[in-house]
Amino acid sequence: MVERARLRQLVATLRQQSVPALLVTHLPDVRYLTGFTGSNAALVVLAGERTSARLFTDGRYTAQARREVQGATVRIAPKSALAEACVYAAERTAMCGFDRTQTTVASLANMRSTARKGGAASGFFKPVDGAVSALREVKDAVEIERMRGAAALTCGFYEGLLGWMEAGMRERDIAAELEHRARLAGADGMSFETIVASGERGSQPHARATDAVIQRGDLLTLDFGIVLDGYCSDMTRTIAFGFEGGPVPRKLQARWAEQRAIFDAVLAAQEAAVAAVHPGATCGAVDAAARSLLTAAGWGKFFSHSTGHGVGIEIHEAPRVAKDQKHLLRHGEVITIEPGVYVPSRCGVRIEDTVLVTADGAEVLTPVHKGWLEL
Ligand code: ZN
Ligand code: ZN
């Protein structure tokens, strides 16, 4: 099973760093390493002379753990799974790594006092950040297949939605219909809260759907994604609500023209950034490909976020595709490319694809129409 290979890879990295054991509590990491999808788990990976992995969960998950867990033994903890995991580690190793970025202050205090009861010396827990998230950056064949599936399903119900949407609807109606269609198409859920932003609300990059009614002459930004087989999709499209082939009313002409100019600049930036994706490219270079075009077009100061992010089991994961990021893209990484321009109290445009880094370039996993579209 693929989980065993992932655990072996983790053991190899831990050994390189002379870390004899790792406590994994971040659930997406636990899922990645063992296949377990329950909501309570602590995994101890021993990487010394004898390697092993033991997953601690509670009685609600007895059957599920037996069915799902690969490559690790399972212990159903009558009290706290985390506490048992700490004692287990303390009894078997002199030092144990943990991910500081996924551990609360309260939880660390708990871990320390429990491990002391198991005989651990002070300093038993040592921060080893991102060991699993670094492995998760490069997707294996199984993951790529799942991400393709999630992306294809997303494109499918989005296309269906285009034939249904029209001016006069509320943002809320569109969010509800989109999520309803996603579920009917087979999605396990949405990967984040659907963003539906029309007109001047489009200038807020993360606007939630409201009662605002879509008017002719508005742009509409839809940013949404689903979870399928444990993997997330992420896509943004901006569409225009036009005048059904008729003339643009005089009082809207300037606004309409400005929106089109912004849209064209964002589309060019998005395509340039996708074209810049290849193994060996830095994330900073991909960001610069988008940012430099928007700056040249005069919209740079309205591009207020980074160009993209890794996506996989989580909607936001490593790497960050942002200014000056030195991370080198590798074959098998999946990132988003999503430049946007947000002009306060006027409008906003964002276009986002999920992109797989291939052996010699990039493959867009969300290849549904992204050019100017008037409904
Ligand atoms: Zn998105
Ligand atoms: Zn995104």
Kindly state whether residues 206 and 177 are assigned to the same domain. Answer: yes
CA 273 – ligand 1 centroid, Å: 16
Tokens of 48: 């010394």
CA 235 – ligand 2 centroid, Å: 7
pLDDT in tens, 101-122: 999 999 999 999 999 988 999 9
Kindly state whether residues 123 and 213 are assigned to the same domain. Answer: no
List of residues 6+ apart from 206 with CB closer than 8 A:
195
Cα 89 to chain centroid, rounded: 31
pLDDT in tens, 149-165: 999 999 999 999 999 99
Starting from the CA of residue 195, give the closest ligand.
1
CA 198 – ligand 2 centroid, Å: 18
CA 208 – ligand 1 centroid, Å: 13
CA 341 – ligand 2 centroid, Å: 15
CA 263 – ligand 1 centroid, Å: 17
* Of 47, 38, 29, residue with least CA distance to 81: 38
In a domain, 271, yes or no: yes
pLDDT in tens, 334-366: 999 999 999 999 999 999 999 999 999 999 999
Q: What is the mean pLDDT of residues 199-212?
A: 94
CA 321 – ligand 1 centroid, Å: 13
CA 155 – ligand 1 centroid, Å: 13
In a domain, 369, yes or no: no
In a domain, 373, yes or no: no
Q: What is the mean pLDDT of residues 260-288?
A: 98
Starting from the CA of residue 307, give the closest ligand.
2
What confidence category does residue 245 fall into, taking pLDDT thresholds of 50, 70 and 90?
confident
Kindly state whether residues 192 and 105 are assigned to the same domain. Answer: no
In a domain, 335, yes or no: yes
DSSP symbol at 280: T
Mean pLDDT of the chain: 97
* Of 366, 43, 346, residue with least CA distance to 217: 346
In a domain, 19, yes or no: yes
CA 147 – ligand 2 centroid, Å: 14
* Of 115, 84, 220, residue with least CA distance to 165: 220
Rounded CA gap, 310 and 130, in Å?
14
DSSP symbol at 338: -
Kindly state whether residues 61 and 149 are assigned to the same domain. Answer: no
For 18, the domain range is 2-135
List of residues 6+ apart from 346 with CB closer than 8 A:
200, 203, 255, 258
CA 122 – ligand 1 centroid, Å: 43
In a domain, 372, yes or no: no
Kindly state whether residues 192 and 314 are assigned to the same domain. Answer: yes
pLDDT in tens, 19-73: 999 999 999 999 999 999 999 999 999 998 889 999 999 999 999 999 999 999 9
* Of 178, 268, 270, residue with least CA distance to 220: 178
Total number of domains in the chain: 2
In a domain, 37, yes or no: yes
Tell me the pTM. Answer: 0.95
CATH of residue 106's domain is 3.40.350.10
Cβ atoms of 36 and 65 within 8 Å: the answer is: yes
Q: Which residues pair with 363 in a beta bridge?
A: 356
Cβ atoms of 231 and 364 within 8 Å: the answer is: no
Beta strands in 244-352 (DSSP E): 308-310, 317-321, 334-337, 340-343, 347-350
CA 316 – ligand 2 centroid, Å: 7
CA 137 – ligand 1 centroid, Å: 18
